[in-house]
Every structure is written in structure tokens, then in C-alpha cells.
A and B are shown apart, each in its own frame.
Chain A
Amino acid sequence: MIRRFAPEIALWIALATVPVWLDYVGGYSALGSKILIYGIAALALNLVLGFTGGLSFGHAAYFGLGAYGAGMTLKYLVPSTPLAILVGTLAGGLAATLLGPLVMRRRGIYFAMITIAIGQLFYFIAVRWNNVTGGEDGLAGFSRQPLRLGGLTYDLANETKYYYLVLLCFIIAVVILRIVLASPLGHTFVAIRENRRRAQFLGIRTDLYVWAAFAISGTVTALAGTLNALLFNFTSPQDLHWILSGNFVIMCVLGGMRKFWGPLVGVTIFVVAQDYLSSLTDNWMTAIGMLFVLIVLLFPKGILGLVARRRRDFGVALSGQRAKIERRTATIEPPPAPLKQETLKQEMK
């Protein structure tokens, strides 16, 4: 029991004490917050990507909508941090919910293309709607306001204090995603990923479930976006760009799409690598591109996938009999291929 939960407990302790040890390993508070924020976004994306099997390549749109929603609320409406977070999250969530029906029937390549293109729509609105969004220069001129509850004030301007707000949101996001995945809803998502047609035959209206996954995922991603805008007191069209969407996807793949915590591992490595590389060389984009290529060619299952396989192999080595069974079931392949050749040959005769 303890062994099973040990990694997770260690993770939470590490996250709770980040401001204490981060400086010693060469990081800074904002980096810790950024990893958690991108972590929320990647975990949320993975609900669609890893658990429902929908190849969403446009999640930056909802991230950016959250960011702009929060920024514009603070700048034009009310100077209230919680309200800004709420408005941003709802804005991104609403967009994902409304656009979901356009993508829910698609699969694979088609799904990816439509989500990419929809993301670009918001990018160009942000770039061109100068007087409201600040155009290419981005939206500035707002700052996170202290939280006031009764007589208590929590000053968010302090990076460490803001980190704990981000951590709180991270916990909320993780709890939501965990509840979804543990519920029959989440099991249906996985069933759709594994075999969409069979799920349909079972009477599941797969379209609606893909829509639900997309909407939940978009909303949580928007939450991450709002926090990102508040972290830098700034947001720009780059937060909506398809390169960010691609980065989210590679973070999920790098960590391991089939594991709940995979995306967080991917985010940590990716964000730290990006931070380090951009200080090292002007050609950091090439380095990131190489990283993409190498991950795809060498680690398609991600780091946690690799760890899990090691562990399984180790367990298998202990009980030889089980290994044989596993290997035998693993090598069974679908049979229908030769049949087609036969009929063709007959037709040709």
C-alpha cells in the first residue's frame, strides 16, 4: 500500500516545498510556477490526447483564451484576481464547448487538422484586434491583485505566494481530472480510445463523449492560461500560437501519454530544457526541433512508459511462466490480411 503511493506522496511533498529548494538547484520561483501551469495544461490536454485518443493539436487556443480573458478582465473590468481567473477559465471553456461539435466526429489526422486550424482563428483575432488585445505586442498593463477575504489579505505580488496559489489551482485541476478519469465517464473515454467502433456497437454515443472530453480538457487548459497571464502580468499572441500547441503535445508524449503523471514529467523536462537552451544558444529552436525528432524516433512511449516497461520486465523475470504467457499474447496479430490476397488472385484468374 505504502509502496504504491510512495511516489505520489513524494511528488506532493516536493511540490509543496518547491520555494525552499528550487533556488539551490539553480531555478527560480517563476520557473516553478511555470512548470505547474504548463503541467495543468498538459495534464488537461492528455485527457483528450492520451485517454480519449483525440489528436488535439490546437490546445494553445484555449490556453490563450484563458490568458486573454484573465488579462482583459483585470485591465478593463474589475481588479480582482479570482474573478479574472474565473472569467478566463469560462471564456476558454465556452470556446472549447462550442467548437467541440465541429471536431467530435473526426478521428486521427482529420481531428488534428481541424483543431490546428481552429486554433489559428484565435491567434489572428488576437494579432489583428489591436486596440483591445494589444496586437503583436501583447496585452500588458494589468497586474495580479492581492486576494482579500474578510479582513485577511494575501499579497500575490510576491512570487512565492503566487506559487502557492498556482499550486492550489494545480491541486484543483488534478482532483477534477482524477475524478473524471475514475468515473464511468473516464472509463468510457478510454474505451473510445481503445476501439471507437466497438464502443459504438455497445450503444455508446461516442461523439458526445469526445465532445465532453474536449470541453473538460479545454476548460482546465484555460485555467492554466489564466494563471500564466497572471504569472507574467502579460500575455501575447504567442500564447495562442500553434507552436505552443505542438509543445503541449510533445510534453505529453515525452512524459508518457498513457500515464496520468506523464505530462507533468514531460513539462518539467521540456520547460527546463527550453529555459537552459535559450540561454545557451541562439539556435535553440533547432535544438527543440531536434528534441522533437529524437523523442518521436527513440522514446515514443515516453519516459514513464519506459520506466513502466522496465518494471514489468523485472517482474516478469521473477516469474518465468507469466513471461511466456505475456509474450505469447503480445505476439498474436490480427489475421485477416492473407484473405484479401486470396480473393484478389481468384479475381485475377
Chain B
Amino acid sequence: MQLLLFNAFNGLIQGVFYALMALGLALILSLNSVINMAHGGFLVVGAYLAYTLSPYLGFWGALIVGPICAAVLGLFVERVLIRPLYKRPDPLYTLLLTFGLALIIEDLTRTIWGAQGLPFQVPESLNSPISSVLFFITGYRVLVVAITIVVMIGLYLLLRYTRLGVRIRAGTHDLETVSALGVNIYLLRALNFGLGCLLAGLAGVLAAGILGLTPPMGSSLVMPSFVAIIVGGVGSLVGSILGGLLIGVAAGITTTYYPAASEAVIYLIMLIVLVIRPRGLLGHEGLFE
């Protein structure tokens, strides 16, 4: 029983990372119409920069600066490489472009920081278990969940109540009309892309404290995030959070009983969901069909 709880909680933590990634991906997917294959790359950049900066800024400083660096890189990439492609309606090109970027970022990370895994130090006070029975719940893991919840609420408030958020949501429905109303949609899409990368960077820094740092960590987290979006339903942000948590916990529980299938089960869930609910759990009719 304790093992099950342990694995389920591990899965929940994984699911939190998937959800954060999926949230950023879904934002970029719906407004920028870009499948960001390089999302894992932004995660890696955020994580490694936080690692490098943490001796100077401390853990808390790195936790803030790492994601911001990822966002700045995202803004740069959007401006220089992705913006020229908006006029081509076929999503193939942005997909291939970000695919290439993912290869470049992973390879350069390996060159700069080395192929071996690096440990990311979290403050000592956060490393101790909270209780002896539930030995796996450390302060850091609680912090991860707490930060994620705060970020998600913040994102909800941003999208619900600020002018920027309203424009982002309007843009996902009808970008042309938003543009006609005098909104600078280039700026809007750039900010949205940066926001997505910020979430990826945050996921990276938080994941680094638990999983450690390796160059392929980005690509191993980005695929389940795609699945999270498909399971949750393309076009639904709540869906991608739900999908991420669901597949994370499912993978964790599977680890208890049949560890070899812990990755495959994610994709099996996706197939089952696609058969039963072709649009995903909370997907809307008619989007990208």
C-alpha cells in the first residue's frame, strides 16, 4: 500500500511537470498555431541556466531567473525564426523548424555542460521528509506542487481578467477579428510564445531538483506533454492540466505493478481516449479537424 502511494505520488509530481509543459504547449498551439517541438529545449535551457546561476543567485534567485531566461530565448526565437513563417498556413514548416531547434539545443547543451547528469542543489531545509510514514513527501515536492498551483491560478487570473489575457483568448478563436479591432497580433503572439516558454523553463527548474539535469531531459518530457494535450483535448487548457496529471499518476501506479510498461501506458491511455472520445476529454468540436 505504501509502495502504491509512493509511486502514485511520484507519478503526480511527474504529472505536474507534464501539466506545466502541456499548458505552455497548448497556449502556443492555440494562438501561434505552432507545434513547438523545441519546447523541451526551452525547458533544458531554463534548467541548465538555473543550475549555472544558482551559486550566484541562490536557489530562489535561480528559480526566478531560469524561467525568465527561457522566456527571453523564446521571444528571440519567435521574432527571428517563427514570425517569418506565420504567412505560410501549413503547420509543417514551424513543426520542422522547431524540430531542428530541438536538435540544436540538445546537442549544444551536451557540448557546453557535458553529457553526464548534473545534480541541482535544493536548499537543505527542503530536502527532509515531512513525516516518517509518508517518507517520500519532502518539502521540495510540496513546494513543487504549491508553486505549480500558484502559477496555474496566476495564469487563470491573467487569462480571465487582464487585457492581455482576454486578447489571447480572443485570438485563439478568431485572430483575424482581433487584428481588425486594432490589436497588434504580432506582439500578442510573441508575448504568448514567451509565456509558454516561461512555463517550460519553470518546469525545467522544478524538474531539475528532482530528476537532476541531463541534456535529453527535455525531449523525454515533451512527448508525454503532447499526449497530455491530446488526452485532455486540443484547445482546452484545463484539459491539458488534467491530461498531464492523469497520465503522470497512471504511469506512477503502473510502476508499482509492472514497471516495464510505465511509459507505454501513457500512450495506451491516449489510444483508449482517442477511441472513446476522439476529441479528448474536454476537447471542443471542430478545432484542427
Closest Cβ of chain A to B249, distance in Å, is 18
Would A124 and B264 count as touching, CB distance under 8 A? Answer: yes
Q: Which stretch, A14-22, A102-110, A145-153, touches the partner chain B?
A: A102-110
Would B181 and A344 count as touching, CB distance under 8 A? Answer: yes
Q: How far is the CA of A341 from the CA of B179 in the complex (A)?
A: 10
Contact of B289 (CB < 8 Å), options: A106, A120, A249: A106
Contacts of B287 on A, CB cut-off 8 Å?
110
Would B223 and A116 count as touching, CB distance under 8 A? Answer: yes
**Does A185 touch B at the CB level, under 8 Å?**
no
Interface residue ranges of B141-174 to A (CB < 8 Å): none
**Residue of chain A at shortest CB distance from B38:** A289
Contacts of A341 on B, CB cut-off 8 Å?
180
Closest Cβ of chain B to A207, distance in Å, is 11
Would B84 and A283 count as touching, CB distance under 8 A? Answer: no
Report the interface size class on chain A: 35 or more
**Does A317 touch B at the CB level, under 8 Å?**
no
Classify the interface of chain B: helix, strand, loop or mixed: helix
Would B92 and A289 count as touching, CB distance under 8 A? Answer: no
Contacts of A288 on B, CB cut-off 8 Å?
100, 103
Contacts of A171 on B, CB cut-off 8 Å?
none
Contacts of A283 on B, CB cut-off 8 Å?
107-108, 111
Interface residue ranges of A317-349 to B (CB < 8 Å): 337, 340-341, 344
Interface residue ranges of A276-314 to B (CB < 8 Å): 282-283, 285-286, 288-293, 295-297, 300
| Contacts A129-B260, A293-B101, A296-B100 given; does A121 touch B271 at CB 8 Å | yes
**Residue of chain B at shortest CB distance from A130:** B260
**Does B256 touch A at the CB level, under 8 Å?**
no
Classify the interface of chain A: helix, strand, loop or mixed: helix
Contacts of B33 on A, CB cut-off 8 Å?
109
Contact of A113 (CB < 8 Å), options: B35, B108, B278: B35
Closest Cβ of chain A to B30, distance in Å, is 10
Closest Cβ of chain A to B239, distance in Å, is 13
Q: How far is the CA of A285 from the CA of B100 in the complex (A)?
A: 9
**Residue of chain B at shortest CB distance from A249:** B96
Interface residue ranges of B230-289 to A (CB < 8 Å): 230, 234, 260-261, 263-264, 267-268, 270-271, 274-275, 278, 287-289
Closest Cβ of chain A to B198, distance in Å, is 22
Closest Cβ of chain A to B196, distance in Å, is 15
Closest Cβ of chain A to B215, distance in Å, is 10
Contacts of B271 on A, CB cut-off 8 Å?
102, 118, 121
Q: How far is the CA of A112 from the CA of B230 in the complex (A)?
A: 11
| Contacts A55-B95, A285-B103 given; does A124 touch B289 at CB 8 Å | no
**Residue of chain B at shortest CB distance from A338:** B180
Contacts of B267 on A, CB cut-off 8 Å?
117-118, 120-121, 124
Q: A55-B95, A114-B274, A128-B261 are in contact. List 6 more A-B contacts (CB 8 A).
A: A106-B289, A107-B288, A113-B229, A118-B267, A121-B268, A296-B85
Among all A-B residue pairs, the 10 with the closest Cβ atoms: A292-B100, A289-B103, A121-B267, A289-B104, A285-B107, A110-B288, A124-B263, A289-B100, A128-B260, A286-B107
